Amino acid sequence: MAVSLALGSLSLPVDAQSTTKVGVVDTQRAIMETEDGLRMQATLKKLFDNRQRELDKKQVDLQKERDDIEKQRGVLSQEALTKRVEKWQRDMMQLQTVFVEYNKEMQKKQNELTQPIFQKAMGLIRRLATQKGLDLIVDKQAVPYVRSDLDLTDQLITMYNSGGAAPQAEPKAAAPATGGTSTAAAKSE
């Protein structure tokens, strides 16, 4: 269905296509580069650095244990060797389980901290579209090529960091006092 809609838009007359105004935002970059996004990243780093160090230490300890088992392979009895190998395997599986849980917890916390930033950014994207008279704003990740003049990401970040105020833009030319005609109407005349 999306393909047929996209193909259908390609067959529009040139005048109809030229009236559609499009902007692009790299939502992921915008969220991460706002002041709130940078604080969120620092918070996550602080929360999880200690845990990562603990996991790294356990991994190093298990590697040392494995090396020690290998060195003593010829000295230990088969029963003692089997017990040490089984204990090492249990410890390794436990570490892997902790690592998976750690990653899930980190992802959950990141989503929790990102959601309010994302919601505010979406509101600002709508406001930016209205202010600029855009019909459509597309996420940059969804398109293979974008002209740089259509990218509104930096403007969005500035808007976000200034509390939602519109970024200072170049002054626009005044509209004709006669009420004027629309761009599409002017082209068809």
Q: Which two tokens stand for residue 124?
A: 């600002």
Residue 95 pLDDT: 94
Q: What predicted TM-score, i.e. pTM, was given to this entire model?
A: 0.62
User: What percent of the chain is modeled with pLDDT above 70?
Assistant: 77
Listed by start position, the domains of the chain span 20-166
CA torsion through residues 59, 62, 68, 70, sign: negative
Which of 33-47, 148-162, 168-182 is predicted with the least confidence, judged by mean pLDDT? 168-182
Residue range 32-83, pLDDT digits in tens: 999 999 999 999 998 889 888 989 999 999 999 999 999 988 888 899 889 9
**pLDDT at 171 exceeding the cut of 50:** no
Instruction: Work out the average pLDDT over 18-43.
Output: 92
Of 48 and 7, more confident: 48
Angle (nearest 5°) at CA 122 between 116 and 127: 130
The residues that bridge with 137 in the sheet, in sequence order, are 23
Provide the b/e sequence for 158-182 (b: ≥16 CB within 10 Å). Answer: ebbbeeeeebeeeeeeeeeeeeeee
Of 178 and 117, more confident: 117
Residue range 95-112, pLDDT digits in tens: 999 999 999 999 999 999
Of 10 and 91, more confident: 91
3-class SS at 162?
coil
Which of 24-38, 76-90, 166-180 is predicted with the least confidence, judged by mean pLDDT? 166-180
Whether domain 20-166 has CATH 1.10.760.10: the reply is no
**pLDDT at 160 exceeding the cut of 70:** yes
Residue 13 pLDDT: 53
**pLDDT at 23 exceeding the cut of 90:** yes
How does the average pLDDT of the chain come out, rounded? 81
Q: How far is CA 108 from CA 42, 101, 180, in A?
A: 16, 10, 53
